[in-house]
Amino acid sequence: MSEKPTEQNIYDIIYQVVRLVPRGRVTSYGAIAAAVGARSGARMVGYAMNACKNIKPKVPAHRVLNRNGQLTGKHHFSTPDEMQRLLEKEGITVKRDKVMDLEKLFWDPLIELGI
């Protein structure tokens, strides 16, 4: 009863934004944090991703990278290669745990969603 019906959990909000990321695009933790109001900060986004493995429907956490376009969270997947594999599968080039053409593939919810 301590929850408010108008307010959802911070994780739930983050998951919704991440699910909005189109296939073949990527975004950053900070962008997600800003989309949800930047109240929690980029750290909470990554923290939420860690818990997303238990959430359904599945959250495309592999499309969420750090500010540098680096696959910082690849170690948290089933296998360290899973994240890169998923990205390449969507047409994204990954080199040395880094996404190429980040500026071209970057998907900013603040802009795309018109926030």
Partner DNA sequence: TACATGACTCTTA
Partner DNA sequence: ATAAGAGCCATGT
CA-to-CA distance for 52 and 11, rounded, in angstroms?
Answer: 8
Q: Are 64 and 17 in contact (CB under 8 A)?
A: no
State in angstroms the smallest separation of the CB of 6 from DNA. 16
Q: Residue count at the site for DNA (CB under 7 A)?
A: 30
Q: Which is nearer to DNA, 50 or 93 (CB)?
A: 50
8 counts as binding DNA under rule CB under 7 A: no
Handedness of CA 99, 96, 35, 18 (dihedral sign): positive
Tokens of 39: 């109240």
36 counts as binding DNA under rule CB under 7 A: no
Q: Of 7-15, 84-92, 98-106, 107-115, which part binds DNA (CB under 7 A)?
A: 7-15
Choose which of 8, 25, 30, 108 interacts with DNA (CB under 7 A): 30
Site string for DNA, 49-88 (x = CB under 7 A): xx-xx-------xx-x-xxx---xx--xx-----x-----
CA quadruple 24, 92, 18, 50: dihedral, nearest 10: 150
Rg (CA), the chain: 14
